[in-house]
């Protein structure tokens, strides 16, 4: 999948579709698009603070659902549940709750959370199943050997 098709798929065709599978190229091209979008939104700060707040707010609100959806579909492509994106969340919350009271415990939660984010990054980079899986048919038919 190329850049243009990935954006079209994520923003238009599968905006809030959490079912099915997403290839690595679809996932990474969409996140590259997000990086460009945020860079452009941030650059508006040099024009006006109100314009900056407006553009970044609108862009973030418009892209949060397709961003989560493509991430869930990417996890489905490697035969993992989409709920895996929430793995670091309890440790992030615990780190915030303990940062004032116990610095050592807060650090433990921070390290665990960081490890889980690294694990998710590895999953996002992992090649998809070459066969049908519980989340959908093979999207690589004829593209892989």
Between 84 and 143, the more confident residue is 84
pTM of the shown model: 0.87
Write the pLDDT tens digit of every residue in 58-101: 999 999 999 999 999 999 999 999 999 999 999 999 999 998 88
pLDDT in the model for residue 103: 85
Calculate mean pLDDT across residues 10-16: 92
How far apart are alpha carbons 34 and 3 in whole angstroms? 12
Residue 102 pLDDT class (50, 70, 90 cuts) = confident
Q: How far is CA 84 from CA 21, 33, 68, in A?
A: 15, 23, 11
pLDDT in the model for residue 34: 96
């Amino acid at each position: 999948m190329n850049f243009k098709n990935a954006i079209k798929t994520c923003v238009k065709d599968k905006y809030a579709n959490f079912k099915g599978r997403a290839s690595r190229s679809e996932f990474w091209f969409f996140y590259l698009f997000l990086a460009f979008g945020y860079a452009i939104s941030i650059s508006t700060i040099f024009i006006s603070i109100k314009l900056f707040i407006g553009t970044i707010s609108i862009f973030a609100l418009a892209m949060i659902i397709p961003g989560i959806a493509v991430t869930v579909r990417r996890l489905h492509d490697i035969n993992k549940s989409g709920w895996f994106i929430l793995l670091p969340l309890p440790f992030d919350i615990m780190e915030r709750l303990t940062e004032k009271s116990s610095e050592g415990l807060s650090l433990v939660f921070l390290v665990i959370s960081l490890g889980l984010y690294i694990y998710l990054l590895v999953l996002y980079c992992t090649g998809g199943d070459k066969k049908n899986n519980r989340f959908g048919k093979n999207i690589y038919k004829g593209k892989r050997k």
